[in-house]
Structure 1
Amino acid sequence: MADLHEFYPLRRHNTFGFDVRARFAAHVRSEDDLVAALADPRVAGLPVLVLGGGSNVVLTADLQALVLLMEIPGFSARASETAWLVTAGAGENWHALVCRTVTEGMPGLENLALIPGTAGAAPIQNIGAYGVELRERFASLRAYDRASGTFVELDAAQCAFGYRDSLFKQAGKDRYIITAVTLRLPRPWQAVLGYAELARELHDEPAPGAAAILDAVVAIRSRKLPDPTRIGNAGSFFKNPVVSAAQGAALLAVHPGMAHYTQADGRIKLAAGWLIDQCGFKGVRDGAVGVYEKQALVLVHHGGGNGAQLLALSTRIADAVQARFGVRIEPEPVVL
């Protein structure tokens, strides 16, 4: 039988630091570990949850589930004339992977630096920052298909990426368990400097390289986002809402200073942090939970609280934004 832990504490496995337990948990360091844990008769009929860095979940109660603690390592790279292809085990730390690729002369991920979590979680959320989304750097992934009991390879089209969305949050939810991700980093490399905040950070660099961009992203994120080892958080808590061109124009007519980004299809992406700030929530504390004083997009856990309290605060915020702006903002993390 698999090496399962009963009533396993998950406080160290979620970046909010909520003190909940799993009915069973298994450290998954190989595909064999994964198959063995799923086949163990003690977990028959239980839901299955995969945790990597635990940076994109809100745990609201003890889990009557098998929790797979994804720790599969691995790194390899090969070059073609048009790209570097980099494969990482699902348990590899995402930021460490970004730093390694840039340091080893394979740039392309630098705008995605300091995003918490693991390589295996990145496609689920289709992570993105400062003008780059994972799908733009994605080649394929390897996953265990629970429906067929086999390992499969899925390409970008099959992953159905959307804005902070993918197959794994929709039709494929609970079906696939990602074990490795292959990234395609285009050659020749081109800097992505479309975000004004990033351009300002690099104003003294007329032609910044990938390392300079990585350092700038780290500096910006470090100023805006709290360290989860010091205060519980999951980074940006809300998705930036995307509205129609007409609704965006109407909002800008009333709020000309509104932070916004025009999309390729003409729709307007609004800055959720700006919307929340305008509703007066930045720095608000509600018992053990609150809103980070430096960035309204970040919800924090000061200690001694629980996921239900955080979820209640997030609903209050979303209701206030909708009442004032007519726009509904949605959480990025998965609520369990």
Structure 2
Amino acid sequence: MHIQEYAALDRCNTLGLPTKARYLIQARCLEDVREALVFARTKQLPLIPLGGGSNVVFSGDLDAVVLRMAIAGKSVVSTLGEHTIVESGAGENWHDLVRWTLSQKAYGLENLSLIPGTVGAAPIQNIGAYGVELKDVFHSLQAVDCQTGGVVCFNRDDCGFDYRQSIFKGSCRDCYVIISLRLKLNRRLTPRLDYADLRDKVEKKALNRELSAELISDVVCDVRREKLPDPGMLANVGSFFKNPEVSASTVQQLKARYPDLVAFPAGERWKLAAGWLIDKAGLKGVREGAVGTHKQQALVLVNHGGATGQDVLCFSEAIKARVHARFGVLLEREPRVY
């Protein structure tokens, strides 16, 4: 097990924030994870698992053992009836897994194409896009208990999935290190085209190509590239705030003032489009020093170069304050802060 001391993490987080870890270890297998846990305990330091770094904000240097997840491997576990069970190591790139499942004629992930990050991070966040969430195709995962080093299996009910939420962000935060994920996918394509923008683009492209999961995936990639900046070109962590949930009465009050309010039902409550709120508050495309909101998507905070974690956090708090003052709605940060 190779251990780096005072390791720079600038290239390990998509916001490009200057950060150093007291220790950095790369985990390529289960035993690496176990050894890293023992090492962290010996040094009396917390252990921080890190995937692609696409959903974290480093507020400063980390006096911790950072475990870079690199457990690889993809396989078809079984094909039963209408479903195919696939398994992936936590260190695999998420988008690569999506495209691989389509090549195996296993469907259900096409709407989740081009979401940055690794497979192990997907259930923590319960990633979602265009009407599909990870929980919709989740089968199970394996994780290492940080106290005992034992391997624990979690099924869907165990994970407590909710909107951008799971027990791994809540009651079991920092208790487990996810090492593998299983997904229950469909052998027959059932397109999920609930979003009008996506449906229109798919229908237009399908005039010249047969409708397929690959076509849907391609369109999702096109739409994401149009709306979201490439972290390799402009540092960011994608959507910085969750879409806030409010009551139906709050929606009615806001619609009376803002007829163009973007809101959609979520069970007994409603979700507001956080990007619309930020845009309407006059904060789309603004910049404060090295930090700003993206000119095409107000929900995305970007590092124009040279920003620190504190710069990003201060800017995000200013956005929250402006939106709350105007709409009476409190935004919640999506990425985790260390």
Fold agreement, TM-score > 0.5: yes
What does residue 4 of structure 1 align with?
3
CA distance in 2, matches of 1:321, 1:154: 38
Which stretch shows the higher mean deviation, 78-87 or 67-76? 78-87
Task: Check the 8 A contact 1:70/1:91 in 2, yes or no.
Answer: yes
Unaligned runs of 5+ in 2: none
What does residue 194 of structure 1 align with?
194
What does residue 47 of structure 2 align with?
48
Task: Check the 8 A contact 2:105/2:187 in 1, yes or no.
Answer: no
Q: TM-score, normalised by structure 2?
A: 0.96
CA distance in 2, matches of 1:10, 1:162: 30
Q: Do structure 1's residue 310 and structure 2's residue 309 form an aligned pair?
A: no
**2:256 alignment partner, SS class:** helix
CA distance in 2, matches of 1:315, 1:41: 33
What does residue 184 of structure 1 align with?
184
CA distance in 1, matches of 2:108, 2:324: 36
What does residue 146 of structure 2 align with?
146
Picking from 308, 323, 326, the partner of 2:325 is: 323
What does residue 250 of structure 1 align with?
253
CA distance in 1, matches of 2:275, 2:175: 33
What does residue 13 of structure 1 align with?
12
**1:85 alignment partner, SS class:** strand
Q: TM-score, normalised by structure 1?
A: 0.96
Change (3 A) 1:253 1:23: same
| CA RMSD in angstroms, aligned pairs only | 1.3
What does residue 243 of structure 2 align with?
240
Percent identity between the two aligned chains: 47
Matches within 5 A, 1:123-134: 123-134=123-134
CA distance in 2, matches of 1:239, 1:34: 31
Task: Check the 8 A contact 1:238/1:332 in 2, yes or no.
Answer: yes
Q: Which amino acid aligns with 2:24?
A: A
What does residue 278 of structure 2 align with?
276
What does residue 59 of structure 1 align with?
58
Runs of 4+ in 1 over 6 A off after TM superposition: none
Task: Check the 8 A contact 2:107/2:188 in 1, yes or no.
Answer: no
Task: Check the 8 A contact 2:140/2:154 in 1, yes or no.
Answer: yes
Change (3 A) 1:319 1:4: same
What does residue 28 of structure 1 align with?
27
**1:108 alignment partner, SS class:** coil
Q: Do structure 1's residue 231 and structure 2's residue 230 form an aligned pair?
A: no
Q: Which amino acid aligns with 1:35?
A: R
Unaligned runs of 5+ in 1: none
Q: Which amino acid aligns with 1:245?
A: A
What does residue 259 of structure 1 align with?
262
Q: CA deviation at 1:67?
A: 0.1
CA distance in 2, matches of 1:328, 1:98: 34
**2:123 alignment partner, SS class:** helix
Change (3 A) 1:66 1:212: same
**1:40 alignment partner, SS class:** helix
Q: Which amino acid aligns with 1:304?
A: G
**2:98 alignment partner, SS class:** helix
Which stretch shows the higher mean deviation, 141-150 or 214-223? 141-150
Task: Check the 8 A contact 2:37/2:146 in 1, yes or no.
Answer: no
What does residue 216 of structure 1 align with?
219
Q: CA deviation at 1:43?
A: 4.6
Q: Which amino acid aligns with 1:225?
A: L
Q: Which amino acid aligns with 2:311?
A: Q
